[in-house]
Amino acid sequence: MTEKLHKFADLYRKSGPWCVAYVDAGAGGVEGMEAAEARPGNVRNAAAAQGAPPADLAVLETAVDPARGVPGPVSRFVLVRDGNVELNELLPGPLVTPKQIHVGPVPDLLPLFKHRPEEFPYIVADVSREGGEIRLEYVGRPGVSVEDVAGSTEDIHKLSAGTWGQDKMQRRTEEVWRRNADEVAAQIDRIVDASGVRLIVLAGDVRARGLVQDQLAEAHKPLVSMLDSHTRTAGPHQDSFEDRVRELIALRWAAEQEQIMDRLALQQGQANPESAAGIGAVVHALQQAQVDVLILNDKALADRTLLALGAEPWVATAEEQALGAEVLGKVPASAALLRAASLTDASLLLVPNGVLPGGGDVAALLRWQTGPNAPGGNASLP
């Protein structure tokens, strides 16, 4: 499950200090209400003990107020800087890591990524011979964007064959179907290009589904999965349909992760691989903006730190690698790597223990080879 990190680059470019809070957001029942009411003050005190500016403390305390009226369990991730809330997200479900309250020179978004591995965008299109309803949804984000495509209904009903006139009408009808399918497909193509959709589920009329798939851009056809159902069917049938969509998403996620790990394995042992393994080699690749996918086992990096820099190359293992950039401070290695990956337009794959070769802590797939053939002659670190 890869997360596109570039959308956070503007946050990462802003100067600190940053206050980060990842806490339970529930308002509590009868027994938990007292703890919920005490939470904002406890978060403020914890941030104050780490030297947070007074203006940030007041804003942070208000931002972590219990989420009253929101069904639990629910969690919250908050970033505060310079007296402003830069990010405040309610996340369905309980905390997936221990709560975190941290003040530092750069924002640590790891708790957010672990709670919400990614906002997987997908389309569910219920199509008919007259048009279709296109729903753009994101895993991990509430809300749905719905667009209706209303095609032509002229001569839409196919006549029974038998005469030359009826055959002519049939051809006209099928041409209307094709034009309607083309309109639906064109709208799907536009949404995919704008939103980075990674799965297209086509439901509805079987003939219309086939026509829409045929009219999609060639690059988008591999994203299509067909479901023999309708999205607007209520009751148990709708629940079953949604379960099948979730299954398709899980299968696509698993296939993407397997593809990434297969690419990494294929590079092992190559003379000039398009991969890097180990913190030194990965930091070097990030400094060259060479990383395509950062593969991170954050638990294995829990005790490691790196230097966060105020400008390119954004991260370093030692001050002599800063290349004149301001050293913002020593920060957790995972936070520094995520920040550098975002600022160089890389993607993220979080993996558990035992997934990386040799029990490693971090690896990367690269945009070009390491070694003497790489652009600029940059050699990989030993």
Q: What would the pLDDT profile of 183-228 be if each residue is shown by its tens digit?
A: 999 999 999 999 889 999 999 989 999 999 999 999 999 999 999 8
Phi/psi for 93 (5° steps) reads 100, 170
Residue with structure tokens 């005190």?
A: 45
pLDDT at 117 over 80: no
Please list the residues that pair with 225 across neighbouring strands: 201
Determine the Cα–Cα distance for residues 292 and 210; give it in Å rounded to an integer. Answer: 35
Torsion of CA 97, 102, 107, 112, to 10 degrees: 20
Contact between residue 199 and residue 225 where contact means Cβ atoms under 8 Å apart: yes
Neighbours of 271 (CB within 10 A): 9
Give every strand in the sheet of 121-128, ordered side by side: 141-150, 131-138, 121-128, 199-204, 224-226
pLDDT of residue 185: 92
pLDDT-wise least confident of 126-130, 148-152, 157-161, 287-291: 157-161
pLDDT-wise least confident of 259-263, 280-284, 341-345: 259-263
Contact between residue 212 and residue 125 where contact means Cβ atoms under 8 Å apart: yes
DSSP 142-206: EEEEEEEEE---TT-SPPPS-SHHHHHHHHHHHHHHHHHHHHHHHHHHHHHHHHT--EEEEEE-H
Contact between residue 365 and residue 292 where contact means Cβ atoms under 8 Å apart: yes
pLDDT of residue 380: 37
Instruction: Indicate left, alpha or beta for 162 from its phi (over 0: left) and psi (-120 to 50: alpha).
Output: left
Neighbours of 69 (CB within 10 A): 6
Distance of CA 363 to the CA centre of its chain: 19
pLDDT category of residue 35 using cuts at 50, 70 and 90? confident
pLDDT of residue 36: 85
Phi/psi for 349 (5° steps) reads -125, 115
pLDDT-wise least confident of 224-233, 260-269, 351-360: 224-233
* pTM beyond 0.85: no
Phi/psi for 290 (5° steps) reads -95, -15
pLDDT of residue 375: 45
pLDDT at 359 over 90: no
